[in-house]
Amino acid sequence: MKTRSWRFGALSCALILALAGTTLTAQAADYPTWEEVEAARNNEAATAAAVQQIGSLLDGLQAESARLGDTATALQAEAATARAALERITETERALSTQARLADERATESAYQAAQLAAALYRSSGADLTAVLLVSSSEDSDNLLYRLGAVGRVGDQVSSALADAEVDRNQAESLAAQAGVARTERDRLSVAAEEASAAATAAAEAADAAVDEQQSRLTVLYEQLASLKGTTVQLEQQYRIGLEANGGPDSGGPGADGPYDGGGGFVVPGNEVNNVAAAQYFAMTQLANMGYGSDQGNCLIWLWNRESGWRTNAYNASSGAYGIPQSLPGSKMANVGADWRTNYETQIMWGLLYIQGRYGTPCAAWAHSEAVNWY
């Protein structure tokens, strides 16, 4: 328990330091005003410098959002694991206790049967079996053998009942001991689960507390960057998503190390209620806004049904992929919004921009997923 307590404490300290770093960075950063952006447009060198400055600021904001979000997601997954372990040991303890009780009842019943049989034997033979045999010596041999056989059979039944009682009693004691061990482990895991839950809650609250400011700054920076370059916010986001998707060990894209199949992995607790219908409606609207035909809608539905079941907080424990599009890691979605951990709209926009940049269309992404089981 000391080791586990220390570990959660260390993670909490790391989270506090991360949050402090976010605050200090936000306060220290020199964010350009719209007036400065407009002034920079009149000079090519000034424009290039402003673009570079905004790009660096975006990198910093996205890194902060990723750090906080990744910490929260990891701790929430660990809390889910701790709760699952607690549920398993609780069920084990309950089953062992039930089995011990039933074995004890069987032992009591077997002992009672032995007592009943012994009483019957006593009544049939009297206090002195030898006397019975002497009195019976005048009887014919067949009758005597029958009586002796009956007495023997009753005696065997008494012995058998007593043996059963002993077996059941030993089993009851063994099961009770196992239940006691399971109960101790249950109590330990209960404390661990509470600690994990508290750490996860603190991490989520810290990440959520920074979202609003991060998101407002991201929005303005993307708008300023698009204004300086004569493009659109969507194109700038897609460009940055493309840069990240095409470099580094995770360049395979969402779910590359093992897609979430809708039936495994963890669902990480979050603040956003999973709303499949609303998420799919938003996705279909954005497909139309991006110029895709209605034929692409089914492909997207199938693709993200396979990846996440359209759940905002779907988490693949084996790969670390997260969210509706199963971004790997989930923090890549910080390119679109600081609320990537809990907002299905942010996740869907990232996923659509990723698909558009890498495959062209949802149906092409679906075809790739069908061929290799990831996209």
DSSP H helices, 230-274, are 233-245
Task: Give the DSSP per-residue string, 12-61.
Answer: HHHHHHHHHHHHHHHHH--PPPHHHHHHHTT-HHHHHHHHHHHHHHHHHH
Reduced to 3 states (helix: H, G, I; strand: E, B; else coil), residue 371 is helix
Neighbours of 217 (CB within 10 A): 18
Which residues face 6 on adjacent strands? none
Measured between alpha carbons, how far is 56 from 53 in angstroms, rounded to an integer? Answer: 5
184-210 residue pLDDT tens:
999 999 999 999 989 888 888 888 888
300-341 residue pLDDT tens:
999 999 999 999 989 887 888 999 999 988 889 988 888 898
The mean pLDDT value of the chain amounts to 78
Per-residue pLDDT, 3: 33
Measured between alpha carbons, how far is 319 from 308 in angstroms, rounded to an integer? Answer: 13
| Angle ∠(363,366,370) on CA atoms, nearest 5 | 140
Measured between alpha carbons, how far is 324 from 375 in angstroms, rounded to an integer? Answer: 13
Measured between alpha carbons, how far is 223 from 169 in angstroms, rounded to an integer? Answer: 77
- pTM for the whole structure: 0.63
Question: Per mean pLDDT, which range of 91-95, 149-153, 254-258, 284-288 is the poorest?
Answer: 254-258
pLDDT confidence tier of residue 133, bands split at 50, 70 and 90: very low
Segment 26-41 shows an average pLDDT of 80
